[in-house]
């Protein structure tokens, strides 16, 4: 029974040490982590939304495969088939 408790204690210490070490690593390197994430986000935004034409409707499809606006059929003057009184 004592061996099981010792194994659990060592495992608990190992997990706690790993969590503390990863927290210290993130705290020490937080500036470089933030800069890396900012550059990835700005690269993703600049490459797809601003440079790719997502705001203008041009999504990179060839011209003949882009959907063309459809003309709307005029409504008959009599309404929708309901007789007028």
Tell me: the pLDDT tens digits for 10-35? 999 999 999 999 999 999 999 999 99
Mean pLDDT of the chain: 77
The token pair at 68 is 């063309």
pTM above 0.75, yes or no: no
Q: Tell me phi and psi for residue 37, to 5 degrees.
A: -70, -40
> Do residues 33 and 26 make contact, with C-beta atoms less than 8 angstroms apart?
yes
Could you tell me the two tokens for 82? 């309901």
């Amino acid at each position: 029974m004592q061996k099981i408790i010792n194994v659990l204690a060592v495992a608990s210490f190992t997990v706690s040490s790993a969590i503390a070490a990863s927290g210290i690593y993130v705290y020490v390197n937080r500036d470089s982590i933030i800069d890396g994430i900012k550059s990835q986000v700005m690269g993703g935004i600049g490459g797809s939304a601003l440079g790719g034409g997502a705001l203008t409707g041009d999504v990179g499809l060839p011209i003949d495969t882009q959907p063309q606006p459809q003309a709307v059929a005029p409504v008959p003057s009599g309404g929708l088939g309901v007789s007028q009184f």
